[in-house]
Chain A
Amino acid sequence: MRASRAILVAVTAAAAGVTATSVVKKRRASAQDHDGRPHVITVFRPYDELKAEQVPGSLAELGDTVEVSLRPAPADRGTEISVRPRDGSPVGAGDIRRALRETRSLLEAGDVLLPSGPPTTKTTLLNRPLQAATEHGREGGLL
Chain B
Amino acid sequence: MKALQWQGINKLKVGEVPEPELRNPGDIIVKVTRSVTCGSDLHLLGGYIPFMQKGDVIGHEFLGEVVQAGALVKNHRVGDRVVVSSFIGCGSCWYCSKELYSLCDNSNTNPALTETLWGQAPGGCFGYSHAMGGNQGSHAEYIRVPFADVGAFTVPQGVSDERALFASDSASTGWMGAELGGVQPGDVVAVWGAGAVGQMAARAAMLLGAERVVVIDRYDYRLDQTAKFIGAETLNYEEVNTEQELRERTGGRGPDVCIEAVGMEAHSAGPQFPYDQLKQQLRLQTDRSPAVREAIHVARKGGSVFVLGVYAGIVDKFPLGAMMNKGLTVRGAQMHGPRYIPMLLDRMAKGELVTEHLATHVMPLDEGPEAYRIFKEKEDNCVRAVLVP
Is B24 located at the chain interface by the 8 A CB criterion? Answer: yes
Is A133 located at the chain interface by the 8 A CB criterion? Answer: yes
Which residue from B55, B109, B112 sits with its C-beta under 8 Å from A114?
A: B109
Is B42 located at the chain interface by the 8 A CB criterion? Answer: no
Chain B 183-209: CB-based contact to A (< 8 A → 1; otherwise 0)? 000000000000000000000000000
Is B313 located at the chain interface by the 8 A CB criterion? Answer: yes
Q: Which of B3, B53, B72, B117 neighbours the largest number of chain A CB atoms within 10 Å of its CB?
A: B53
CB B115 to nearest CB in A, in angstroms, measures 4
Name 6 interchain pairs, CB-CB below 8 A, sorted by A: A20-B113, A44-B93, A108-B105, A116-B146, A120-B18, A122-B54
Binding site for B on A (CB under 8 A): 3, 6-7, 10-11, 14-20, 23, 26-27, 42, 44, 77-78, 101, 104-105, 108-122, 124, 126-127, 130-131, 133-134, 136-143
Known: A14-B117, A115-B135. A19 touches B54 (CB 8 A): no
Structural contact, B111 and A137, CB atoms closer than 8 A: yes
Which residue from A10, A16, A118, A137 sits with its C-beta under 8 Å from B21?
A: A118
CB B40 to nearest CB in A, in angstroms, measures 17
CB-defined contacts of B56 to chain A, threshold 8 Å:
120-121
Interfacial residues of chain B within 124-175, with CB under 8 A of chain A in the complex: 124, 130, 133-136, 144, 146-147
18 additional A-B residue pairs with CB within 8 Å, beyond A14-B286, A116-B23: A6-B116, A7-B116, A15-B286, A17-B47, A108-B92, A108-B105, A110-B92, A112-B24, A113-B107, A117-B21, A119-B55, A133-B130, A134-B109, A134-B110, A134-B130, A137-B109, A142-B115, A142-B119
Structural contact, A109 and B111, CB atoms closer than 8 A: no
* CA of A118 to CA of B66, assembled, Å: 19
Identify the closest chain B residue to A24 (Cβ): B112
Number of A-B contacts (CB under 8 A): 167
* CA of A137 to CA of B110, assembled, Å: 4
CB-defined contacts of B110 to chain A, threshold 8 Å:
115, 133-134, 137-138
Main SS at interface, chain B? loop
Is B369 located at the chain interface by the 8 A CB criterion? Answer: no
Known: A115-B109, A122-B54. A15 touches B116 (CB 8 A): no
Known: A118-B21, A121-B54. A10 touches B112 (CB 8 A): no
Structural contact, A130 and B92, CB atoms closer than 8 A: no
CB-defined contacts of A114 to chain B, threshold 8 Å:
23-24, 109
Structural contact, A111 and B25, CB atoms closer than 8 A: yes
* CA of A17 to CA of B24, assembled, Å: 33
Identify the closest chain B residue to A127 (Cβ): B53
Interfacial residues of chain B within 16-71, with CB under 8 A of chain A in the complex: 17-18, 20-21, 23-26, 47, 50-51, 53-57
Chain B 236-251: CB-based contact to A (< 8 A → 1; otherwise 0)? 0000000000000000
- By Cβ-Cβ distance, the 8 closest A-B pairs, closest first, are A140-B112, A137-B110, A141-B115, A121-B55, A141-B112, A120-B17, A44-B94, A114-B23
Which residue from B94, B113, B115 sits with its C-beta under 8 Å from A143?
A: B115
Which residue from B51, B93, B121, B136 sits with its C-beta under 8 Å from A20?
A: B51
Structural contact, B51 and A130, CB atoms closer than 8 A: yes
* CA of A15 to CA of B312, assembled, Å: 10
Structural contact, B55 and A139, CB atoms closer than 8 A: no
Is B284 located at the chain interface by the 8 A CB criterion? Answer: yes
Structural contact, A120 and B57, CB atoms closer than 8 A: yes
Structural contact, A104 and B117, CB atoms closer than 8 A: no
* CA of A119 to CA of B3, assembled, Å: 12
Identify the closest chain A residue to B23 (Cβ): A114
Chain B 82-104: CB-based contact to A (< 8 A → 1; otherwise 0)? 00000000111110010000000
* CA of A109 to CA of B149, assembled, Å: 12
Structural contact, B112 and A27, CB atoms closer than 8 A: yes
* CA of A27 to CA of B130, assembled, Å: 17
Is B283 located at the chain interface by the 8 A CB criterion? Answer: yes
Structural contact, B130 and A14, CB atoms closer than 8 A: no
Structural contact, A118 and B283, CB atoms closer than 8 A: no
Is B314 located at the chain interface by the 8 A CB criterion? Answer: yes
Identify the closest chain B residue to A78 (Cβ): B94
Structural contact, B106 and A104, CB atoms closer than 8 A: yes
Structural contact, B17 and A44, CB atoms closer than 8 A: no
CB-defined contacts of A6 to chain B, threshold 8 Å:
116
* CA of A119 to CA of B55, assembled, Å: 9
Structural contact, B20 and A109, CB atoms closer than 8 A: no
Identify the closest chain A residue to B95 (Cβ): A44
Structural contact, B113 and A44, CB atoms closer than 8 A: no
CB A36 to nearest CB in B, in angstroms, measures 21
CB-defined contacts of A130 to chain B, threshold 8 Å:
51, 53, 130
CB A142 to nearest CB in B, in angstroms, measures 5
Structural contact, B283 and A10, CB atoms closer than 8 A: no
Structural contact, A116 and B90, CB atoms closer than 8 A: no
